[in-house]
Structure 1
Amino acid sequence: MRQVAAPGGARQRWSARVAVVAAVGAGVLLLSVAGFKSVALVAVGAAGLAVTAAAGWWALTRRGVARGAALVLAGAAPLAVLAAYVAARLLWIVVVSLALWALAAVTGRSALRADSAPRTAPGRPVPPPGRAFLLMNPRSGGGKVGRFRLKERAEALGAEVVLLGPGNWDAAGLARDAVARGADLLGVAGGDGTQALVADVAAEHDVPFVVIPAGTRNHFALDLGLDRDDPSRSLEALTDGVEFRVDLGRVGGRVFVNNASFGAYAEVVQSPAYRDDKAGTLLRLLPDVLTHQHGPRLTVGAGAVALDAPQAVLVSNNPYRVGDRAGLGRRDRLDGGVLGLVGVTVDSAVQAADLLRGRRAPGLVSLTAGEVVVDADGPEVRVGVDGEALTLPTPVRCVSEPGALRIRVPRHRPGVPPARPRLDWRRLWELAARAGRALPAAGSSGAAGPSGSG
């Protein structure tokens, strides 16, 4: 096992010590002042959270007076918990204990963060392309193409640039034509939906693909470790680039670089009214969608696992991070050769409250598989594919295509932000108690994947 000096030096040592002391202090405070009442305090707080979650479910699945009553209950439950603490004259203990736990979490993760670092695939150095062809959507991301002068900068590097616009929206067709004319590199400055369309062409012809994050969210670029704040930096791939392979997902024959969603989300966002009134459409449609009165009844198969009637299903090109709420929507690697599957099944307020258990909740399924089949009780099903609304015939087969796409990125780029460290109290104790000695680095086996592998 590789040994390293305690990462982060004195700052890491003191952060670990503060975390340990704060955590112990929170427990000692509750037990020493509240005694056996501390158990009741925790139970009352847990009950309040459960009631709030259940009331939230009722608010989403009811209309009219029932929805209003559920919203009142959702707001009243935490107030009732506070009132119980005040009546027992223990509110200050709860507040101080929570503050200590928050301090322990912040300082503990700060101490452990030194064990992680942004990961960047080394890639294989490659010469500049001879005939680069780039498609750019000037309306994407609020006009990033114009704001960062992407067209002018790309053309100055010798690339052929075509702007997407009225009468010129067939990104895949334009890319195929470019390859037929001799293009040896394809790229897109736009959203993830357009990225996927052109990535499919690049994979089909085995030419490298450049991602220029000029969309709104740019999730694919995030997982490739690109600079989303300055999309012009991605153009450095044309002059000083490295290359590696990543997977693609395919749903019903359509490529996706991020994910395909089925169920409640796909049904609501495809409503004609959603674009003009998102909140109103959600409140109007969700009661019927979540209670299976509207939309398809889904069944999902992934290997030996079968899901019956989940309300929401997300199939992703490699799995998203787990146990890191701050990192939702991030994938640590894009070359695992598997799909990620997340399914949510909630049919009652009790099951809604049970979701507070996180990944241990029986209504939440999260796994990886090489193939996922989604069926429905109808001939077609609505699907959100990288943000694009589609309707596909059932059953819908989702597969991973390992290493299908040659990605070219700048040699120098930020890398994928590390996951928020899990609070490993044993590791924190080692850092606090054995400061100054050589410690085994957590996760010292090395990074892997294109977000951390070559």
Structure 2
Amino acid sequence: MSTAAVWQARLAFAAVTAAVVLVLAVAGFRGSLGLLLTGALGAAAGLAAAWWFLTHRGLLRWLAGAVVALVPIVVAIVYIRHRLLWVAVVVGLLWVVAVAAGRRALVDPGHGPEEFPTPAPQNPYLIMNPRSGGGKVERFRLAERAREFGARVFLLDGPAVDVAEVARQAIKDGADLLGVAGGDGTQALVAGVAAEHGVPFLVISAGTRNHFALDLGLDREDPATCLDALTDGVEIHVDLGLIGDRTFVNNASFGAYASVVQSPAYRDDKVGTTLELLPGALTGTTGPRLRVHAGDLVIDGPQAVLISNNPYTTGDVAGLGERPQLDRGALGVLAVTVRGAADAARLIGGRGRARSLTVRTVTEAVVDADAPAVPVGVDGESVLLPTPVRCTIRPAALRVRVPRQRPGVRAALPELDWTRLRRLALSR
């Protein structure tokens, strides 16, 4: 472990010690006990109210919403009356420092993916969606720049275009590289064709979130830099997920999220549709009951399931953060089962999380339900699939051409393990 990691671990413990000393020195025993009790009761009330807000409609929802908004104000007033607000603020800041330093101390720097030097493509073919990412194709002049590199460009001009068929026709016409400037759903469709024909695939970060580009270590701020791979690039080999016969590059989601995005009203009113459909999805009164087979484990009745092409970082409860590797040859399975406010509090707080959060790494997962078909969000695209739904991994199936010079994949921040951190702080 590096010297920097050792000192970061020591900083984490120093920040925690400073917080404890501050509370005892300024507030005293009785004051510190009241400070902690007030904060704990406020947090519990806020979490319970938040759960009621998400799982109820009508008057109960808005009363719960009012409690969520008022709890921090009431807690702040109590602290102010006892002249302890500044103590709470400083303790909070010290805790943020402790967590940040501790997690960075435990980072495993790892190694980037193996790079394969290959000749530049002679007949690249790029599919671009002008509407993706709020119009990044036009804003960054991606089509013009690509043509300057000698690429043929196909602009998607309507939702009825069969993107996979466009890519297959390009292969028949002699394309030796396929690329996409668009969302992850479009990326996945063309990536499947590229893998099928064994040609390299180019990702241009012109989508809205660009999750796949992030995990490939590409520049998400300037998608035009991705085009550098056409002349000065290397290949990396990454895995692809398969759900039924459909490819996914990021993940497939079942349950609460998938039910919401399946609604026709979601595109026009995301917030309103989510608030309307979440109560039934979270309490199990609407939507099919799910049953997940992940290796030798069976998960019965989860409200939300995420199956990803390689696992996400373990510290990310939502499973929508970053994947430190895309070449482990494994699926990540994350299932959330929340039965009430207490489970929600444990899930958010981290303690007792195992009761509500199941995380597994497998090569195959099957999602069944008490319905002939279930809504699934596949790389952000909503589809309806017949049950049971089988997900598998295709190791090193995709040759991705990336620029030689790129930001790279950031080291994953792990969950805070105080035992490991203590050993690290006391080393050397």
TM-score, normalised relative to structure 2: 0.90
Is the aligned partner of 1:94 residue 2:88? yes
Task: Give the conservation status (yes or no) of the 8 Å contact 1:311–1:345.
Answer: yes
Is the aligned partner of 1:278 residue 2:270? yes
- Matching residue within 350, 366, 373 for 1:380: 373
Is the aligned partner of 1:370 residue 2:360? no
CA distance in 2, matches of 1:431, 1:355: 27
Identity %: 57
Question: CA offsets, 1:264-287, max 9 Å, x none?
Answer: 111111211112222211222222
Between stretches 86-95 and 347-356, larger displacement belongs to 86-95
Question: CA offsets, 1:48-104, max 9 Å, x none?
Answer: 222211111111111222112222332343344445545655444333322333344
- Matching residue within 328, 348, 357 for 2:349: 357
Secondary structure at the aligned position of 1:227 is classed as coil
Task: Give the conservation status (yes or no) of the 8 Å contact 2:371–2:387.
Answer: yes
Question: CA offsets, 1:145-201, max 9 Å, x none?
Answer: 122222222222222211111387211101111112222211111111111001101
Which one scores higher on RCO, CA 8 angstroms, separation ≥ 6? 1
Quickly say closer, same or farther: Cα 1:155–1:83, change in 2 above 3 A: closer
CA distance in 2, matches of 1:422, 1:357: 12
Secondary structure at the aligned position of 2:325 is classed as coil
Aligned letter for 1:406? R
Partner of 2:187: 195
Quickly say closer, same or farther: Cα 1:167–1:254, change in 2 above 3 A: closer
Task: Give the conservation status (yes or no) of the 8 Å contact 1:23–1:104.
Answer: yes
Report the RMSD for the aligned CA atoms in angstroms: 2.9
CA distance in 2, matches of 1:429, 1:61: 40
Instruction: Give the deviation of 1:258 after TM superposition.
Output: 0.3
CA distance in 2, matches of 1:28, 1:267: 49
Partner of 1:250: 242
- Matching residue within 385, 388, 392 for 1:392: 385
Is the aligned partner of 1:401 residue 2:394? yes
Aligned letter for 1:390? V
**Where do residues 273-422 of structure 1 align in structure 2 (5 Å cutoff)?**
273-323=265-315, 328-358=320-350, 360-361=352-353, 362-420=355-413
Is the aligned partner of 1:63 residue 2:62? no
Task: Give the conservation status (yes or no) of the 8 Å contact 1:324–1:420.
Answer: no
Between stretches 128-137 and 81-90, larger displacement belongs to 81-90
Secondary structure at the aligned position of 2:44 is classed as helix
Secondary structure at the aligned position of 1:255 is classed as strand
Partner of 1:451: none
Partner of 2:16: 23
Partner of 1:175: 167
CA distance in 2, matches of 1:107, 1:359: 20
Aligned letter for 1:59? F
* Aligned length, in residue pairs: 426
Quickly say closer, same or farther: Cα 1:283–1:433, change in 2 above 3 A: closer
Question: CA offsets, 1:384-422, max 9 Å, x none?
Answer: 101111000011011111111111111111101223466
Instruction: Give the deviation of 1:344 after TM superposition.
Output: 1.1
Is the aligned partner of 1:73 residue 2:67? yes
Between stretches 194-203 and 298-307, larger displacement belongs to 298-307
**Where do residues 101-250 of structure 1 align in structure 2 (5 Å cutoff)?**
101-105=95-99, 112=105, 120-166=112-158, 169-250=161-242
Instruction: Give the deviation of 1:43 after TM superposition.
Output: 3.9
CA distance in 2, matches of 1:344, 1:196: 25
Unmatched 5+ residue regions in structure 1?
Answer: 440-454
**Where do residues 30-41 of structure 1 align in structure 2 (5 Å cutoff)?**
30-32=23-25, 33-35=27-29, 38-41=32-35
CA distance in 1, matches of 2:42, 2:269: 32
Quickly say closer, same or farther: Cα 1:125–1:166, change in 2 above 3 A: same
CA distance in 2, matches of 1:292, 1:426: 38
Between stretches 144-153 and 240-249, larger displacement belongs to 144-153
Task: Give the conservation status (yes or no) of the 8 Å contact 2:49–2:68.
Answer: yes
Instruction: Give the deviation of 1:116 after TM superposition.
Output: 6.8
Task: Give the conservation status (yes or no) of the 8 Å contact 2:363–2:392.
Answer: yes
Quickly say closer, same or farther: Cα 1:80–1:425, change in 2 above 3 A: same
Unmatched 5+ residue regions in structure 2?
Answer: none
Task: Give the conservation status (yes or no) of the 8 Å contact 2:46–2:71.
Answer: yes
Instruction: Give the deviation of 1:349 after TM superposition.
Output: 2.4
Question: CA offsets, 1:313-370, max 9 Å, x none?
Answer: 1111011112258995210000111111111111222222232332742111112111
Aligned letter for 2:406? R
CA distance in 1, matches of 2:318, 2:263: 30
CA distance in 1, matches of 2:168, 2:217: 27
- Matching residue within 26, 29, 47 for 2:41: 47
Question: CA offsets, 1:234-266, max 9 Å, x none?
Answer: 112111111121110011211100001111111
Task: Give the conservation status (yes or no) of the 8 Å contact 2:315–2:414.
Answer: no
Secondary structure at the aligned position of 1:296 is classed as coil
Task: Give the conservation status (yes or no) of the 8 Å contact 1:132–1:160.
Answer: yes
Question: CA offsets, 1:117-164, max 9 Å, x none?
Answer: 696434011111122111111111122112222222222222221111
Quickly say closer, same or farther: Cα 1:336–1:95, change in 2 above 3 A: same
Instruction: Give the deviation of 1:375 after TM superposition.
Output: 0.9
Secondary structure at the aligned position of 1:353 is classed as helix
CA distance in 1, matches of 2:159, 2:356: 46
